[in-house]
Each structure stands twice: as C-alpha cells, then as structure tokens.
Amino acid sequence: MRALIVEDEPKVASFIAKELQSHAFAVDLAADGEAGERMARSNTYDVILLDWMLPRKSGIAVCRDLRRDLPQVPILMLTALDGVEDQVNSLQAGADDYLSKPFDLVVLMARIDALLRRSKGNREEGQKLSCGDLQLDHDARRVTRSGQEMRLTAREYALLRFLLQRKDKVCTRMEILEQVWDTLFDTETNVVDVYINMLRKKVDKPFTEKLIHTVTGMGYVIREPGA
Ligand code: CA
C-alpha cells in the first residue's frame, strides 16, 4: 500500500506518516499543493491525504483537478475548518471523505480502511493484472503462470505488481526504488537488479517465453510475449 500525504505542517505530516508506516504503508510527503498534485500524477497511490489549506495551490483545487484525471484514487481531505460548508465543498470537489483537524489517529485509520475497502470494490478489475499467461490477483495476493502458483516474497510481489501496472512501459531503477522501496537508496545500489534477477528465476526461467526485459541504460519492462 502506498499513500501520499500533502500537508504543509511538518509536524502533522510526520505524525500521520508514522502512523501509516506502522500500518505497513509506504509513504510519500508533499509540502505544497503543486508538489502534491505532481506526485499524485506521476505515481500510483492507494490513498491520498490532502490538507485543505496549502501553499501554492489549495487542497480543494488540487482535489478538483486530480479528480478529473484520476477518478479512482481515494482522496481524504483534512480540514482545520469544522464548517459544514467546507465539508460540502470537499465532497463537491470530488473528495471521497473528509476529516476535521484535530483528529484521532484511530479515526483516521478507520476512515482510510473504509476508503480502501470501497475503492477495492470499485476497482475489482484493476486488481487483476496479467501479461501473457502470467496472472496477478491482488485481492488474493496470488500469482500464477500457466496456472502454476508462484511463491514470491513480499518485495518480489510488489516489484512484479509495479511492473505489471506499467506493462509495456519502461520502468527506470529510480522509479522502481521509489515505488517498491520506501527509502531512497543511493542510485549506485544494485538492489533493483538483484530483485529483478530473483523475480526472473521464478517468473521467467522455468518458461520458454520471457516476459521481463532489460532495456539497456534505462531499466526494465514487462511485455506480452511476442510484443
Ligand atoms: Ca495546512
């Protein structure tokens, strides 16, 4: 699970981030509306927490603009204002839910859980990814190739899922690091290559058709056989 927190108060941001991380989320932070919108557009998030009052671009404007292009991503607005009008505005701008500050972390997590359950129901299709005879069922956390079940570690699974979500698009090592690992490693690190190799041993080696390809000098791509 990956979450984006768009919040300009560092203390609040890190308070929420810690809680999400303790619930096994990978967390990205943005401190203003423009940065938040840019990150939301260039990454895939399971949930976005969006503060109402933000520098550069307000939370409500970010929400409205994101909603137009990313109808599926769950957005939870965080507002310091407790007025009914602002809550209505949040929902009209396309937020899935709102929470008035200050809030209890238990309530925040309950709201996020509810949003995730709802969006999972809405995106049942998106939970099943495939490439050739390789299938990933995210609800069941199950990967099969030619009907054969594959045992992947959590990290291998996350890596494969990311490649499948971006099928036919080259993923750079940096993108993979940012999406699959929460920490930004030194760019010299070969951790991505190591994991790609482990994944290949399970996903490609026993089969004739190779799905995971190296794009020299760029990164990796998963492609339909024969493509
Ligand atoms: Ca704020």
CATH number of the domain that residue 98 is part of: 3.40.50.2300
For the segment 23-41, what is each residue's pLDDT rounded down to a tens digit?
A: 889 999 999 999 999 999 9
Q: Within this chain, do residues 148 and 214 fall inside the same structural domain, yes or no?
A: yes
Query: 145 is in which domain, residue-wise?
Result: 126-222
| Close Cβ partners of 143 (under 8 Å, ≥ 6 residues apart) | 134, 135, 136, 137, 149, 150, 152, 157, 160, 203
Q: What is the 175 CA–ligand 1 centroid distance (Å)?
A: 28
Domain boundary residue among 59, 92, 122? Answer: 122
The larger pLDDT score, comparing residue 14 to residue 128, is at 14
pLDDT above 70 as % of the chain = 92
Give the tokens for residue 96.
Answer: 């899935």
What is the C-alpha separation between 151 and 116, in angstroms, rounded?
25
Count of domains for the chain? 2
Q: Which of helix, strand or coil describes residue 15?
A: helix
Q: Is the pTM of this model over 0.75?
A: no
Q: What is the 174 CA–ligand 1 centroid distance (Å)?
A: 30
Omega cis (within 30) before 102? yes
For the segment 153-212, what is each residue's pLDDT rounded down to a tens digit?
A: 888 888 999 999 889 999 998 888 877 776 555 555 678 898 999 999 999 999 999 999
Edge-to-edge strand ranges of the sheet holding 26-30? 26-30, 2-6, 47-51, 75-79, 97-100
Q: What is the 12 CA–ligand 1 centroid distance (Å)?
A: 9
Q: What is the 49 CA–ligand 1 centroid distance (Å)?
A: 12
| Close Cβ partners of 126 (under 8 Å, ≥ 6 residues apart) | 72
